[in-house]
Amino acid sequence: MNPIFLLTPSDRGPVLKIREQNLSSALLISLEITELTPLVGKEELVAKGQKIASDPQNKLPSVHSSVSGKVLDVKKDFILIEEEGERVAAPLTLDNSDSSSMLSYLREAGIDVSGLKQGCTLIINTVPAEAGIDGHRFLIEEFNQIMSEGLDFLKEALSPKASAIAVPQGMSWTLPGCTGHEIKPVYPNGLAPMVVKAVTGKEMPSGVSVIDAATLYRIGRTVHGKQPVTEIMVKVGNTLFQAPVGTTVKLLTSKAGFKLSDGDRVVLGGPLSGRAVYSLNHGIPADTQGVTVIAGSNTPVAKDSPCLGCGECVIKCPARLMPNMISRHAEFGLFENTQAYFIASCFECGLCAYWCTAQRPLLQYIRLAKKELFSKPILEDLRK
């Protein structure tokens, strides 16, 4: 089997705590994807755990400073903070009077709760999303009690009808009160829609919520410590780091032993569905679980080639969509047309682009169309 598809967790190695190394550079808190509004100004002193960006619509998770420091720069896409002092933000205040207040507490602590529904069937997903992103193993085996605390909080907030834990085949991981389901560790079986189908036997059923092990750990740690979790576990190559949010990929890849060359790509996430960064000074976001380095010397580069109509992407799509047609319309700005091809059902596994004979950037076209449909009016002038 091509190792890029293998999801079996690797053996546990030591965790490298980046703060015990030389942090050496300011932290860059990314707002690029979230488009949140900064709450701090240049030269302002901030405390560790202080909220520094939020969503005016109150739907997206807030962002917090991962260090006590001074704000060096604020742009639309990032906040740059240099470590200074030992200030710590006041503890979060929990209102557990109802489900909405409890979920709002988690959102304020920086955790995405948009997919959680009251009265749902709750699935804890411990299967690696992609090859090499297997820091779950350390969290489950070392912090089972913290994760159980997070699960208890979720159960109180959601009152789920049933709770299940999805584990890679051969692993004996459990959580109290959860029914175990083994998943064949082959990509894309670890992605949420595939896990839901494996556990429930249904495609995209309503009333099912999935939360991955890393997020459950963050919930448990937040509830336990009453502070936002500003240090995350992130796997870079074979090294598992404990690093503050905002640590640059340049520092992480260097500490992991990579010597980058022109043409190499650094990806937040896995090689099939991750997002390449445009600068090595990019800071890791709170939801990052892995950083992948793709060598430029032996990897095909995506091109804006015409679609050949070979159908490989259609054959390989696990959602049975037509990525060829979606990408053709997105390529020319006809974003609303992609809805006729059920673009919302795409869970962005990236297999279409991997198998594309013409090496077209199919996943990027799909993500562009989704973003345009979600946030902006249709661009009529692109049709002229």
User: For each successive 10 residues of the chain (384 residues), what is the average pLDDT?
Assistant: 90 83 77 80 96 89 94 92 94 91 95 92 96 90 95 96 96 95 97 97 92 96 95 93 94 93 92 92 92 82 88 96 97 94 95 95 95 68 44
Report yes or no: 267 and 274 within 8 Å, Cβ to Cβ: yes
Per-residue pLDDT of 30-60, as tens digits, reads 886 557 889 999 999 999 999 999 988 888 8
Report yes or no: 8 and 183 within 8 Å, Cβ to Cβ: no
| Residue 151: predicted pLDDT | 97
Torsion of CA 249, 250, 251, 256, to 10 degrees: 80
Rounded distance between C-alpha atoms, residue 302 and residue 48, angstroms: 41
| Residue 31: predicted pLDDT | 81
Per-residue pLDDT of 175-194, as tens digits, reads 999 999 999 999 999 999 99
**SS3 per residue for 228-268:** CCCEEEEEECCEEEEEECCCEHHHHHHHCCCCCCCCCEEEE
Residue 207 phi/psi, 5° resolution?
A: 80, 25
Rounded distance between C-alpha atoms, residue 295 and residue 356, angstroms: 20
Tokens 């208890």 sit on residue: 152
Report yes or no: 28 and 74 within 8 Å, Cβ to Cβ: no
| Residue 291: predicted pLDDT | 96
Q: Quick check: helix, strand or coil at residue 37?
A: strand
| Residue 23: predicted pLDDT | 62
| Residue 306: predicted pLDDT | 92
Q: Which pair of structure tokens corresponds to residue 170?
A: 């051969």
- In 55-206, beta strands by DSSP E: 63-64, 69-74, 78-83, 121-125, 162-168, 179-183
Rounded distance between C-alpha atoms, residue 354 and residue 316, angstroms: 9
| Residue 57: predicted pLDDT | 84
Selection from 188, 213, 249, 194 nearest residue 32 by Cα: 249
Rounded distance between C-alpha atoms, residue 84 and residue 95, angstroms: 32
| Residue 14: predicted pLDDT | 85
| Residue 304: predicted pLDDT | 84
